[in-house]
Amino acid sequence: MSGEMTIAFKLNRRSVKIKADGERMLLWVLRDDLGLTGTKYGCGESQCGACTVVINGEAVRSCRVPLKSVAGKEVLTIEGLARGKALHPLQKALIRHGAIQCGFCTPGMILNAYSLLNRKPVPGPAEIREGMEGNLCRCGCYGRILEAIASAAEEMKTGRTR
Amino acid sequence: MSETRQDAEVNLFSAPAEALGRRDFLKWLGPGLYVFFSTEEGLLLGQEARGGGRGYPEDFNAYLRIAEDGQVTCYTGKVELGQGIIASLAQMLAEELPVPFEAIRMVFGDTRLCPWDGGTNGSRSIKYFGPALRAAGAEAREVLRQLAAETLKAAPEKVQLEKGTASVSGDPQKKIGFGLLTRGKTIERHLPKKPPLKPAGAFQVCGRSLPRRDLEEKATGAARFAGDVRLPGMLYGRVLRPPAHGARLKNLDTSRVSEVPGALLVREGDFVGVVHPKPDLADKAMERIRAEFDLPELRWDAQSIHEHLLAAGPRENVLESRGDLARGQALAVEHFDEIYRTPYVAHAPMETHTALAQVGPEEATLWIGTQRPFGAQEEIARLLNLPADKVHVITPYVGGGFGGKSSIGQAIQAARLSRAVGKPVQVAWTREEEFYYDTFMPAAVVRIRSGLDRDRRIVYWNYEVFYAGDRSSQNFYNVPHLRTAARGGWSGGGSGPHPFGTGAWRGPGSNTNIFARESHIDTMAARAGMDPLEFRLRNLTDPRMIRVLRAAADRFGWKPARTPSRRGHGVVCLDYLGTYVAAMAEIEMPSGGGPIRVRRVVHAQDMGPVINPEGARMQIEGGIIMGLGYCLTEEIRFQGGRIDDLSFSRYEIPRFSWTPKIETVLVDNPEIPPSGGGEPPNVGMGGLIGNALFDAAGVRLTRFPFTAARIREKLA
């Protein structure tokens, strides 16, 4: 194999340095080398969103992100979203709304929504729907996820204005 | 046919044919198997409750353990697939054993710790496991009462049990926690006469929307699925996949595997795999294998398969028969003869089939994302030639199953690789493999011949179903002259008429049978010039069905009209293993034909006492969404054993934008025991949306999915 290199980036607000083939996809480095299994494999071709992580504020599909491309960037995975025991409003909202069944798509859903709210703090229902369209949930929690995101956005807005 | 036999049938065809020789097939099958028969309900009830060969244990200690600190562990061979039994089963236990709901921790699908179970399928956890669990809780409660009476030196009838504590009425000083009574040990004492279960009217814990403990873990990424389990020294494995089911390996070149440092080749005849310490590098190693296969003749495709199924002519199993069809025909003034066809549909759970196997010479431990841990234990034991009790199957959270994770082909691959390399090996199927090895909902055909008399009552009904099986095929309308027959079941596989494996798909058979019957009923209503709800009510006497229909109509605001009314309103009603459903929908169809948009679904469900209403609503909403998939887009395209839809870019499942407004009505019914709720929501969707489509456009599609192309073709 080629391309063994040392790549430094921020992972969940901490600096990490990893020596690996830079062509490997971030998903597998996270799940195996770094032991962060909250990021899921669903399809390996950007079709389902289960592997979504946030890089520099933007949701991306980690199954298609070469490790070398995250050098110097800030990567956020589901494990880094809560602050200590305090869950992020999106996490609380999905739990509160019963928007989780098998839970396999959930980390990707939450991080995609996180990036959506970064871009658009108070999205309308159609904007949420559109922004989430690329994430698949076979259990069919869509309606509740939409409600949960709207409710989290509301909570975050109130939090900010306070 | 016993429950375990039925399971054998499922896993037989679920294992990738390539991983097994024909002899293995026969060995697994055993003699005398076959065909999936009627009176399923009675069979299941008897077997799951008492055990057909293997059943639920009598000893209540198998189901629960009270630790010294009062923490209660509840053991079940069922698994948590997202359906929420983590709350509802704990509620059923807490209903009989007076401990706080919060004190109960659930252990799922661990073959060493949990009582045997036939599998998490058929919406049976509440209906069949629930009573066994409650009985265990009730007996434990009464034994605890005796133990407390002895310890506190009081008469048993003076002992009050509440929130995990025993106290003596009138003497508040005298009390003791359950944990101190049991000291965390097995309770040796048993009762000669089992105490009765609480009637539904007395429920205090059941019937409440108590929270699911798994949701927080799932929202933080802490929840462990099979692919998240790590063992020291473990490897990741991939197995060579043929281009088509039935293909045979001809030439193999593995010389380039060594280009991936650390990769190890495993070969046992046609079983060719690689292992590597990194999952993605195992993929890279697999990509370097060049293989040529001899392909079988690729006959039948999604268009021609139904003729093939009809021609295969399996043995007929008459499910019900009354009156005299010839006499019914003579009485009829309108006759109907329709054929309904349904395609192969994939399960497509978000978590692909995944397993980690640690196989040693004497024993094996496997972590499997499976719906059948005990079935898997037996299959793996046979594969490894070990006694079943030397195979320990552990089931972490399962990332969706829908029937598809009754098959454990991935665990067989992992076990073979682990045995070969002497290290733990994890196999997580790629999405392509997930589609390829899936045990699809079988393509099926239904023919219905029926007639109406002058009073617009159904006077005869001749129903034949091919390859969907009997579930939900029986007619609950009042029909004096009737015959229902099933040919072939919903399992299948290479040796049956199907070119690849088929199996249980969220309500096996019912999606097909209900689609056919309810479409046909609608066709009859239209020809009779009647509103489809009124037509149904005219031909029904079952008060439960009438009530659930009225409940749906009230919520929907159903206004009677002859179809097609151009409003896009549809109705369906059904009986799924004793759970009754009526649903109504409003769809929109752009002029000129599809794609259909489903705007609103009202779903009324009578499943007896509801254990966790919010959990039930989540299941209903999810089932409706999942059902929309086969209504609108889902259909596996194939050529013989070659599956052409191997990705989400070609096989489209429901998305956010599809989500209709969903309103659920949980019909209160304390008269029957708690019944299943996870499958009834999706099994009526084909009939519901097909009927709404007819109402919208005057177009009757007799096969799903109702794609824009099919609608336009009909309109032309």
Q: Which of residues 115-154 of A touch B (CB under 8 A)?
A: 129-130, 132-133, 135-146
User: Out of A36, A43, A102, whose CB is closest to B400?
Assistant: A102
Considering the domain architecture, whether residues B544 and B463 belong to the same structural domain is answered as yes
Residue B70 to residues B105, B181, B616, Cα–Cα distance (Å): 11, 10, 29
User: Out of B279, B399, B647, whose CB is closest to A47?
Assistant: B647
Considering the domain architecture, whether residues B198 and B67 belong to the same structural domain is answered as yes
Angstrom distance (rounded) from CA B489 to CA B265: 39
Is a pLDDT exceeding 80 seen at residue B433?
Answer: yes
Please give the average per-residue pLDDT across B333-351, as a whole number. 98
Residue B500 falls inside a structural domain: yes
User: Out of A110, A136, A138, whose CB is closest to B219?
Assistant: A110
pLDDT on residue A160: 65
Q: Which letter, b or e, does each residue of B179-199 get, where b requires 16 or more Cβ atoms within 10 Å of its Cβ?
A: bbbbeeeebeeeeeeebebbe
Residue B163 falls inside a structural domain: yes
B598 contacts B569 by C-beta, under 8 angstroms: no
Please give the average per-residue pLDDT across B64-69, as a whole number. 95
Beta-sheet pairing, B597-606 with B661-666: parallel
Contact B352 A41 (CB under 8 A): yes
Residue B15 falls inside a structural domain: no
Number of domains observed in the structure of chain B? 3
Structure tokens at B653: 């499942």
**Torsional sign, CA B625, B627, B632, B633:** positive
Which of B217, B245, B265 finishes a domain? Answer: B217
Please give the average per-residue pLDDT across B628-638, as a whole number. 98
Which CATH number do you get for residue B422? 3.30.365.10
Please give the average per-residue pLDDT across B60-82, as a whole number. 96
Q: What string of DSSP letters covers A108-159?
A: HHHHHHHHHHHH-SS--HHHHHHHHTT---TT--HHHHHHHHHHHHHHHHHH
Q: Which residue of A has its CA nearest to B617?
A: A98
Is a pLDDT exceeding 50 seen at residue B34?
Answer: no
**Type of residue found at B380:** I
Q: What is the length of chain B?
A: 716
Considering the domain architecture, whether residues B363 and B336 belong to the same structural domain is answered as no
Considering the domain architecture, whether residues B329 and B362 belong to the same structural domain is answered as no
Please give the average per-residue pLDDT across B244-258, as a whole number. 97
Say if pTM beats, i.e. exceeds, 0.80.
yes
Q: Which of A1, A81, A102 to mutate to test the interface with B (most CBs of B within 10 A)?
A: A102
DSSP state of B245: T
**Residue-range domains of chain A with CATH:** 4-80 (3.10.20.30), 89-161 (1.10.150.120)
Considering the domain architecture, whether residues B257 and B150 belong to the same structural domain is answered as no
Q: Is B613 exposed, middle or buried (0-12, 13-18, 19+ CB in 10 A)?
A: middle
Roughly what angle, to the nearest 10 degrees, separates helices B613-632 and A142-161? 120
Beta-sheet pairing, B481-487 with B316-322: antiparallel
**Least Cα separation, residue A162 to chain B (angstroms):** 26
Considering the domain architecture, whether residues B322 and B416 belong to the same structural domain is answered as no
pLDDT on residue B122: 87
Residue B4 falls inside a structural domain: no
Considering the domain architecture, whether residues B527 and B578 belong to the same structural domain is answered as yes
Is a pLDDT exceeding 90 seen at residue B28?
Answer: no
C-alpha closest to that of B224 among A112, A94, A52, A102:
A102
Considering the domain architecture, whether residues B291 and B309 belong to the same structural domain is answered as no
- Structure ipTM: 0.97
What region, left, alpha or beta, does residue B432 occupy, with left being phi > 0 and alpha being psi -120 to 50 degrees?
alpha
User: Out of B614, B626, B654, whose CB is closest to A98?
Assistant: B614
Cβ atoms < 10 Å from Cβ of B261: 9
Q: What is the length of chain A?
A: 162
pLDDT on residue B13: 31
pLDDT (tens digit, 9 = 90+) per residue, B383-415? Answer: 999 999 999 999 999 999 999 999 999 999 999
Residue B491 falls inside a structural domain: yes
**Least Cα separation, residue B467 to chain A (angstroms):** 25
Angstrom distance (rounded) from CA A114 to CA A14: 19
Considering the domain architecture, whether residues B329 and B396 belong to the same structural domain is answered as no
User: Coil, strand or helix: which one is B26?
Assistant: helix
Is a pLDDT exceeding 90 seen at residue B27?
Answer: no
The separation between CA B27 and the C-alpha centre of its own chain, rounded to angstroms, equals 26
**Mean pLDDT over the full length of chain B:** 91
Considering the domain architecture, whether residues B328 and B386 belong to the same structural domain is answered as no
pLDDT (tens digit, 9 = 90+) per residue, B510-568? Answer: 999 999 999 999 999 999 999 999 999 999 999 999 999 999 999 999 999 999 999 99
Contact A77 B221 (CB under 8 A): yes
Which of B181, B199, B217 finishes a domain? Answer: B217
**Per mean pLDDT, which of B466-470, B497-501, B692-696 is the most reliable?**
B692-696
pLDDT on residue B36: 27
Is a pLDDT exceeding 90 seen at residue B161?
Answer: yes
**Least Cα separation, residue B215 to chain A (angstroms):** 6
Please give the average per-residue pLDDT across B81-85, as a whole number. 96
Q: Which of residues 54-73 of A touch B (CB under 8 A)?
A: none
User: Out of A33, A107, A132, whose CB is closest to B221?
Assistant: A107
Q: Show the low-confidence residues of chain A (pLDDT under 50).
A: 1, 162
Q: Which of residues 84-103 of A touch B (CB under 8 A)?
A: 87, 91-92, 94-95, 98, 100-103
pLDDT on residue B564: 97
pLDDT on residue A159: 74
Domain of residue B408, residue span? 226-295+353-428
Residue B37 falls inside a structural domain: no
pLDDT on residue B228: 98
pLDDT (tens digit, 9 = 90+) per residue, A113-142? Answer: 999 999 999 999 999 999 999 999 999 999
pLDDT on residue B496: 80
Which of B191, B217, B243 finishes a domain? Answer: B217
Residue B79 falls inside a structural domain: yes
**Type of residue found at B542:** D
Considering the domain architecture, whether residues B72 and B160 belong to the same structural domain is answered as yes
Residue B12 falls inside a structural domain: no
pLDDT band at B493 (very low <50, low <70, confident <90, very high): low
Contact B350 A48 (CB under 8 A): yes
Is a pLDDT exceeding 60 seen at residue B1?
Answer: no
Q: Which residue of A has its CA nearest to B647?
A: A43
Considering the domain architecture, whether residues B193 and B315 belong to the same structural domain is answered as no
B478 contacts B492 by C-beta, under 8 angstroms: no
